[in-house]
Amino acid sequence: MAKHFSGEEKLRIVLESIIRGISKDEQCKKYECSETDFDAWREHLVTNGGKVFEPGYGIVAKKSIHPSSGGWFSKFVLSFSILVNIAFVSAVLAWQMKWIDLGSYLPKSQVASTAEPSSPSMSGTGVKGVETLESLSLMTKSSTAKQSTLSSSGASSRTDSSPMPVVSVPIPSSTKAPMYSGLAGRPRPTFEIDAFGVRTLGRQIVFALDASDYMTRGSRVGQFRELKEKLRLAISRLSEKNHFNLLVFRNLREIEMFGKTILLANSTNKSLALKWLKEIGEPYEKKQAASIRRPNDRDIMDKPPPGTVGPWYALYCAIKNYHPDAVFVLTGECSSMRPQDFSSVDSTKSDLRKTGDPDDLFKWELRTKTLRRTAVKWLLVSMKADEMPPTTQDELELLALARLQMTLPPKPQVSSSASWPWRDVYQKFRDALNHGESDLPIVHFVVALPEGVTWPADLSDTAGEFARMAKGQLMFTNATPP
């Protein structure tokens, strides 16, 4: 039985014989074909092979396989139709969502003609009139006047078939809703946080926490932990659209930051900040901090001027380096710190107030000795079993006198108890800050003081003055404000 070959195989057999110079006998034996067939294939190739290169060869076959896809005009019509449909659907969607106020774009006459008709029962005419939202009061007055006229003439309202006149009321341009992010009718969003009992507008928030020894030692530990818990709640409530940073300041002029820049309040950053907050002021904090290097005062680009200490130091760093919308300063008995206790602070540049004669202090102690001792004895007897007494004699005396609602004569200041001139510190802070009231962020001071302890008058006055200027508050917790 003769073997069947495809046209491609026949071509390959003939071309292989011609190109490689293989004889007809060998080629026929190799492919098991007859010499007659081989001669017919070769003759066909030589005779008709040139037609392959003739112009127009194969076009008919190609057209029959690939149908026409249309000209440029049909493509243009199809694209234009798709765009028109998309625009129409978008316009209908925007109108349904009230993103577009069509009334503000139509002429006055068209606005009046497209308004809803009034109720048939109006003025008893039974004929529909045209009514706009802004002409309700005018239509009411017109209806009342028309009824009085009809009743005086005795004419029946049913016989009056004349249509009510169309009243064109211009729509003021202010009715068009303001634009925000390209969407009409959408109000500009406001960002608000709830922290320490006050709701504060702002998107970028900085918290400055005082972790000095007077906040974390002795009987103040419990109060400091309560303050940290309130701060934890405030950070947890931040939206993911907020930005925040946490500053921790110690010993009047030492500071650490959670980040070098203000950070997005996503779940990761808030979780890391809360983990650090949990360690602050705890006995194991130094061991944990040894393995983590946080940004500190060396990373502050705009440093506070000399003589700026305590809460003013932290507030300056927060405002000048992070440009926030709101700042919360959480501090305590910073007035108990003495300038001579810190070698890093040049007290000669702070203009410390002049101190009194030591003899005046001795006379004051003699004059108030009996009263102070009696008050302390009463306090120790009246305290509850689970109540922790203050650790120092001065604190015992202050707490006892506060509970008895008694006051002592002013205590003379001598070199051993020299304090910061807070009015001068505040003035240096303001001069270096160089911000007008409109440029200030909202600033809140949250002050946690032991019972019976108050801030010096010049410190509380300056903090209250700046808080009012910055649209914030000065808040005292667990203590009577000065």
The CATH number covering residue 436 comes to 3.40.50
221 and 177 assigned to the same domain: no
Instruction: Spell out the per-residue pLDDT of the chain, length 482, in tens.
Output: 567 888 888 888 888 888 888 888 888 888 888 888 888 888 888 888 777 777 766 554 444 444 445 578 888 888 888 999 899 888 888 877 767 665 555 554 554 444 444 444 444 444 344 444 444 444 544 555 544 444 444 444 444 444 444 444 443 443 433 333 334 454 445 678 889 989 998 899 999 999 988 888 877 788 889 999 999 999 999 998 899 999 999 877 889 999 888 999 999 999 999 999 998 988 776 655 545 678 887 888 888 888 888 899 999 999 999 999 999 999 988 877 765 544 344 444 444 444 455 567 777 888 888 888 888 888 888 888 888 878 788 888 888 888 888 888 887 765 444 567 888 889 999 999 988 888 899 999 999 988 778 888 889 999 999 999 999 999 988 654 44
* Structural domains of the chain, count: 4
115 and 212 belong to one structural domain: no
Q: Are residues 237 and 302 in the same domain?
A: yes
* Adjacent-strand bridge partners of 446: 330, 475
Give residue 243's pLDDT.
94
Answer for the pair 258, 251: CB distance below 8 angstroms, yes or no. Answer: no
- Single-letter amino acid, residue 193: I
Question: How far is 299 from 257, CA to CA, in rounded Å?
Answer: 9
In SS3 terms, the chain reads as CCCCCCHHHHHHHHHHHHHHCCCHHHHHHHHCCCHHHHHHHHHHHHHHHHHHHCCCCCHHHHHHHCCCCCCHHHHHHHHHHHHHHHHHHHHHHHHHCCCCCHHHCCCHHHHHHCCCECCCCHHHCCCCCECCHHHHHHHHHHHHHHHHHHHHHCCCHHHCCCCCCCCCCCCCHHHCCCEECCEECCCCCCCEEEECCEEEECCEEEEEEECCHHHHCHHHHHHHHHHHHHHHHHHHCCCCCCEEEEEEEECCCEEEECCCCCEECCHHHHHHHHHHHHHCCCCCHHHHHCCCCCCEHHHCCCCCCCCCCHHHHHHHHHHHHHCCCEEEEEECCHHHCCHHHCCCCCHHHCCCCCCCCHHHHHHHHHHHHHHHHHHHHHHHHHCCCCCCCCCCHHHHHHHHHHHCCCCCCCCCCCHHHCCCCHHHHHHHHHHHHCCCHHHCCEEEEEEECCCCCCCCHHHHHHHHHHHHHCCCCEEEECCCCC
In a domain, 24, yes or no: yes
Tell me phi and psi for residue 409, to 5 degrees: -60, 155
In a domain, 428, yes or no: yes
Assess if residue 153 is contained within a domain: no
Per-residue pLDDT, 409: 84
65 occurs within a structural domain: no
To which residue do tokens 């009824």 refer? 147
State how far the alpha carbon of 213 is from the alpha carbons of 144, 391, 448, 466, in Å.
Answer: 80, 13, 14, 26
The answer on 325 and 208 residing in a single domain is: yes
Please tell me whether residues 184 and 238 are part of one structural domain.
no
- State both tokens at 3: 């073997």
**Pair (185, 210) in one structural domain:** no
Q: What is the pLDDT of residue 468?
A: 94
Task: Report if residue 404 sits inside a domain.
Answer: no
Shared domain check, 437 and 468: yes
Question: Distance between CA atoms of 139 and 263, rounded to whole angstroms?
Answer: 58
**Cα–chain-centroid distance for residue 141?**
50
Query: Both 339 and 425 in a single domain?
Result: yes
Say yes or no: 343 and 445 in one domain.
yes
- pLDDT of the residue at 466: 95
Residue appearing with tokens 């009194």: 356
Q: Would you say residue 228 lies in a domain?
A: yes
Which range of residues forms the domain containing residue 37? Answer: 1-47
417: left (phi over 0), alpha (psi -120 to 50) or beta: alpha
Domain for residue 451, yes or no? yes
Is residue 259 domain-shared with residue 308, that is, in the same domain? yes
Residues 169 and 96 in one domain: no
Whether residue 204 contacts residue 213, with contact meaning beta carbons closer than 8 Å, is answered with no
464 within some domain: yes
Contacts of 220 (CB under 8 A, 6+ apart): 214, 332, 333, 450
181 and 288 part of one domain: no
